[in-house]
Amino acid sequence: MSLNKSLLFALFGLLATLAVGQAERVRYDNYRLYKANTANEAQLAVLKDLEGSSDSILFLDGVHIVGKDVQMVVAPHKVPDLLDLLGRAEIKYELQSKDFQKSMDEVDEKVAIKGRVGMTGRADDEYNWAQYYELEDTYTWMIQLASKYPHVVTLIEGGKSYQRRSILGVKISKSLSDKPGIFLEAGIHAREWIAPAAATFIINQLLTSEVDSIKELADNYNWYVFPHANPDGYVYTHTTNRLWRKTRTPYGSCFGADPNRNWGFHWNEVGASDSACSDTYAGPEAFSEIETYSLSQYIASIKDNIQLYISLHAYSQYLLYPYGHTNELPDNVKDYEQVYDAAIAAVSQRYSTRYTGGNIYDAIYPAAGASVDWAYGTQDVRMSFCYELRPSSNSILTGFRLPAEQIIPASEELLDSIVAMATEVKALGYFDK
């Protein structure tokens, strides 16, 4: 729905009042970082059983594929049990860090260029892309955009969160004519800070850029952009646990479901967990999370206006398309491959950043219940893509904590890629449908 400005200011103030108070910040002092690698299905099953069995072991990778590295952050008191389990199962492992918190702090010190780079900053009073912002700051900036560009920017609400925060977005439309639509959501996984930052960068470029190709994107399409699809989780990464991924819905002694395993298309068939403590918990049922349910309702209400769906994640430098639940390919896979090739080529032109990818199941891992699959499979959005942004997949300590100095280059190359993507989608005729 569209929100008028006075209503949104009232809503924003109410939500700020109702927000959950800060908890003690989670630290990982003396936690160890291990990398394990399985050689067969039996060993993989051992790790799957371990995932989500204890809040003292944090899996930084999904347990989906034999032979794929799985990194785990382990509390000191759990180390003997873990090593005994890995030894009995004959699972190969390596110690990556004896003190995960110290390793993270050292990374922050090395990349610091202005205040706490890689963390929240306040370099100046003007919203910019030299720092990461908290939810309230970004929402305030979006409200200001609606005032600054009243005939172009409309505030839209994609739904609510469990803690009653707004899933706030903007519609950018430079004319009243009926135009094709591009839908972009980011931040569905809370700890992936670069995704919302890149989304706001794109919003700003659509409104201010003098580059012809970007002006064409702004002029020829209606844009629906939601930087924070999981606002509760994002707030929690700022107040309490920087590595939090899920929503904040309580499930017994654990919290949250993975909102990108919760969409109602082949839900929980593969690549998700039934354990509420797991980072890939699919939830008790499809759309159990109010965030995914309400956002899906909004998307369904405008589905005839959306021809291209884009979801922003991090990290690994992938461009992905359906499906995640099966290795069967979309019926228009040749078109996907054409768009993919153009987008991949464009992303490397500015900074020589190398992306790879393909269909989700084969390119990264099996994962049912993702938003891009749902958009393609149930809403007839025939072009639906997921970007996994910087850094590359071998950068675990900086993976979810990309230095703020990389926000602009990561966002610039992403926008280069989206320009190429939209050009190919148009050439294939999808914007005519």
Phi and psi dihedrals of 398, rounded to 5?
-105, 0
Cα(185)–Cα(155) distance, rounded to whole angstroms? 15
> From the CB of residue 57, how many other CB atoms can be counted at a distance below 10 Å?
20
Cα(58)–Cα(60) distance, rounded to whole angstroms? 6
Q: Which of 268, 235, 420 is nearest to 341 (CA)?
A: 420
Cα(313)–Cα(187) distance, rounded to whole angstroms? 7
What number of helices (H) and strands (E) belong to the chain?
14, 14
Q: Can you say how many angstroms the Cα of residue 187 is from the centroid of all Cα atoms in its chain?
A: 4
Cα(348)–Cα(288) distance, rounded to whole angstroms? 39
Cα(243)–Cα(245) distance, rounded to whole angstroms? 6
What sections of 89-151 are H helices per DSSP? 100-111, 135-148
Q: Which two tokens stand for residue 332?
A: 């228009």
Q: Residues, the chain, total?
A: 433
Q: Which two tokens stand for residue 239?
A: 């107040």
**CB 82 within 8 Å of CB 34:** yes
Q: Which of 388, 412, 413, 424 is catalytic?
A: 388
> From the CB of residue 134, how many other CB atoms can be counted at a distance below 10 Å?
15
Residues paired with residue 318 on neighbouring β-strands, in sequence order:
356, 388
**CB 419 within 8 Å of CB 347:** no
**285 counts as catalytic:** no
Q: Can you say how many angstroms the Cα of residue 260 is from the centroid of all Cα atoms in its chain?
A: 8
Q: Is 158 helix (H, G, I), strand (E, B) or coil?
A: strand
**CB 20 within 8 Å of CB 165:** no
In Å, what is the CA distance from 78 to each residue of 54, 151, 235? 9, 57, 28
**What are the percentages of helix, strand and coil residues in the chain, rounded to 5?**
40, 20, 40
Task: Give me the active site residues, please.
Answer: 388
